[in-house]
Amino acid sequence: MQRLLPFVFLISVASTFGISWIVVAVDPDSAGWYNFALLIFLIFATVAGFLGLFLFFVRTRFYKRYSVNWYIKTSFKMSVFVAFFVALASTLAILQLISIFNLILAGLAVSLFAIWSFLGGE
pLDDT digits (tens, 9 = 90+) for 5-64: 999 999 999 999 999 999 999 998 888 899 999 999 999 999 999 999 999 988 888 887
Rounded-to-integer distance, Cα 42 and Cα 50, Å: 12
Q: Are 5 and 73 in contact (CB under 8 A)?
A: no
Rounded-to-integer distance, Cα 104 and Cα 114, Å: 15
What single letter denotes the amino acid at residue 101? F
In this prediction, residue 15 carries a pLDDT of 97
Question: pLDDT grade, residue 122 (50/70/90)?
Answer: low
In this prediction, residue 73 carries a pLDDT of 86
Give the residue with greater pLDDT, 73 vs 92.
92
* H-helix or E-strand spanning residue 62: helix 33-62
Cα dist from 102 to 4, 60, 116, 120, whole Å: 36, 36, 21, 28
> Quick count: other Cβ atoms within 10 Å of Cβ 12?
19
What single letter denotes the amino acid at residue 12? S
Rounded-to-integer distance, Cα 98 and Cα 90, Å: 9
Question: pLDDT grade, residue 121 (50/70/90)?
Answer: low
Total residue length of the chain: 122
Question: pLDDT grade, residue 70 (50/70/90)?
Answer: confident
Mean residue pLDDT across the chain: 91
In this prediction, residue 119 carries a pLDDT of 85
Q: Is the pTM of this model over 0.75?
A: yes
Rounded-to-integer distance, Cα 87 and Cα 81, Å: 10
In this prediction, residue 28 carries a pLDDT of 87
For the chain, helix (H) and strand (E) counts, in that order, are: 4, 0
